Amino acid sequence: MYHVTWEEVDKQAQAIATYWRDKGIATVYGVPQGGAPLAVMVANYLGVRVVEEPKLGLSTLVVDDLVDSGRTLQDLHKSFATDAAFCKPHSPKVYAPSAVCIDDWLAFPWERNHGKPTDGIVRLLEYIGEDPSRDGLVDTPERVVRALVEMTQGYKADVGAILSTSFDVPYDEMVVLRNVPYSSMCEHHMLPFTGHVTLGYIPSNRVVGLSKLARLVDAYAQRLQVQERLTTQLTDALQEHLNPIGCGAVVRGNHSCMCNRGIRKSGEMVTSSLVGVFRNDSTARAEFMALAKP
């Protein structure tokens, strides 16, 4: 976590004012909540007034503390000049020409709890009409953050290191690990989907430790995912790090984003990815798919 200081905010306010000076700016608006203190500082350096909402015809500069995906400023940029104090490396530069890029979680001096991720959970509880201060919810924001970190620890996995443990065993037949359980999280709704994975490969010279295949499943499953990508990532990793004659993955999943919302129907999704002889040789393909049956 990067703790932004008031001095850094003031420096960026000056940078924004310098960039927009002599460009006809007459008013400044700060996007709630983080843009409000920045707007006051920018307006002071420009010698113009702050407005409570942006209006056409007022030559308004819209400012925010941080532009991330750019979604907040996207629509405003169509009608107003926009800028921000900070951005992420992936942020659209067009919305914040003066922003400094920092690739970290930013905590601003005006944020409650020093800008911890728990702030967002508190706001979500309030949004759905709950009272975050009641007994059963007091510790919920911390629990949710810890759970999310735990359920997405695959981002920290080193796939190359996982598959580096191999053995010089002469074997030219199919190696299949069936029905490895996994738990992942749908990136569209951040709801879990769970199921089983079957992995197989034909070694070219070395075999990998069996437990490493199970660890490989966790490395890609424990992220925000879609099942189709999960399936191809598994075979891509096997192909890259083991250089097998062929490899394959069959993934079965039950998605709570379909069962618990929207259409509210259950059903098992099955995806497969076949590489090398598993794809090109009908006999090898048929053997693997037979072994992959539940």
pLDDT per residue as tens digits for the range 106-144? 889 887 555 578 888 988 998 899 998 989 999 999 999
In this prediction, residue 112 carries a pLDDT of 58
Specify whether the CB–CB gap between 52 and 140 falls below 8 A: no
Mapped onto helix, strand or coil, the DSSP state of residue 136 is helix
Count the helix, strand and coil residues of the chain and give each as a percent rounded to the nearest 5: 40, 25, 35
Selection from 183, 177, 160 nearest residue 213 by Cα:
177
Count the residues in the chain.
294
**Three-state SS annotation for 46-82:** HCCEECCCCCCCCCEEEEEEEECCCHHHHHHHCCCEE
DSSP state of 99: P
Does 114 qualify as catalytic in the annotation?
no
Q: Which of 101, 142, 153, 188 is catalytic?
A: 188
Q: Is 33 in the active site?
A: no
pLDDT tens figures, 210-247:
999 999 999 999 999 999 999 999 999 999 999 999 99
**Does 39 have pLDDT greater than 80?**
yes
| Beta-bridge partners for 175 | 201
User: Choosing from 14, 111, 189, 287, which is the catalytic residue?
Assistant: 189
Beta bridge partners of 183: 194
Q: What region does 173 belong to: left with phi over 0, alpha with psi -120 to 50, or beta? A: beta
Concerning whether 101 is annotated as a catalytic residue, the answer is no
pLDDT tens sequence across 60-75: 999 999 998 888 899 9
Prior bond of 12 cis (ω within 30°)? no
Q: Look at residue 114 in the predicted model and tell me its pLDDT.
A: 55
Cβ pair 184, 230 in contact under 8 A: yes
Give helix then strand counts, H and E, for the chain: 11, 14
Of residues 33, 196, 239, 257, which has the active-site annotation? 257
| Catalytic residue status for 87 | no
**Could you give the CA distance from residue 30 to residue 120 in angstroms, rounded to a whole number?**
20
Residue 288 vs residues 248, 278, 291: alpha-carbon distances, Å? 8, 7, 5
Query: Would you call 186 a catalytic residue per the annotation?
Result: yes
| Residue of 151, 226, 136 whose CA lies nearest to 183 | 151
The radius of gyration of the chain's CA atoms, rounded to the nearest angstrom, is: 26
Q: What is the mean pLDDT of the chain?
A: 94
Question: 227 catalytic, yes or no?
Answer: yes
The pTM score is 0.68
Does residue 188 have an active-site annotation? yes
Select which of 142, 187, 228, 240 is catalytic. Answer: 187
- Per annotation, catalytic residue among 225, 227, 241, 247: 227
Residues 163 and 216 sit within 8 Å (Cβ to Cβ): yes
